[in-house]
């Protein structure tokens, strides 16, 4: 199993420690299951977006148990996000389209989380006032989303450049 985890990695020095020690050991087991069931990496990406959006929706209600279920779904979506790449690398079926789908899935999942938290924040009182956030809630949501998008693009670019110089596509 450890050999498959190493084989499925892009490179040892570009993977995040949380991916390496938490998500990868779970994702590799799921990858083997998906491969046995002939489920493609792109289908795993679609499953990831389903869990990510469901998790985001479950963050909206003011109910801790439902919110906990939402967080579980979001973490499972992150595991599936690791898994789709592992399926593609282990089966040698990675494509440029799959890479694009993976990026779109990540963006959709994060956008859903930000929107859900923004809608929830609309109902909250602004600290030290008696006023609800209302539409002003989307100011920090949009700023945070834009910062996250920029950071994600830069991290992806640097990772891609690093892999290019390692001789991996």
pLDDT in tens, 8-54: 666 566 677 887 888 888 999 999 999 999 999 999 999 999 999 99
* Per-residue model confidence as pLDDT tens digits over 69-97: 999 999 999 999 989 999 998 999 989 99
Predicted structure pTM score: 0.84
As a whole number, mean pLDDT of residues 119-125 equals: 94
The alpha carbon torsion through 68, 77, 49, 65 (nearest 10 deg) reads -10
pLDDT, the chain, mean: 89
Alpha-helix residue ranges (DSSP H) falling in 92-124: 96-122
**Spatial distance between the Cα atoms of 141 and 164, rounded to a whole number of angstroms:** 34
């Amino acid at each position: 199993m450890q050999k498959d985890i190493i084989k499925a990695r892009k490179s040892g020095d570009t993977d995040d420690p949380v991916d390496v020690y938490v998500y990868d050991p779970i994702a590799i087991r799921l990858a083997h299951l998906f491969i046995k069931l002939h489920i493609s990496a792109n289908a795993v990406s679609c499953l990831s977006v389903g869990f990510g959006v469901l998790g985001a929706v479950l963050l909206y209600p003011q109910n801790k148990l439902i919110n906990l279920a939402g967080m579980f779904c979001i973490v499972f979506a992150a595991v599936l996000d690791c898994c789709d790449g592992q399926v593609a690398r282990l089966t040698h079926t990675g494509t440029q389209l799959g890479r694009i789908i993976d990026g779109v899935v990540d963006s959709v999942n994060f956008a859903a989380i930000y929107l859900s938290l923004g809608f929830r924040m609309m109902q909250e009182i602004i600290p030290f006032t008696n006023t609800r956030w209302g539409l002003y809630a989307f100011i920090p949501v949009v700023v945070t989303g834009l910062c996250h998008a920029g950071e994600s693009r830069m991290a992806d670019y640097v990772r891609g450049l690093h892999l290019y110089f390692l001789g991996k596509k």
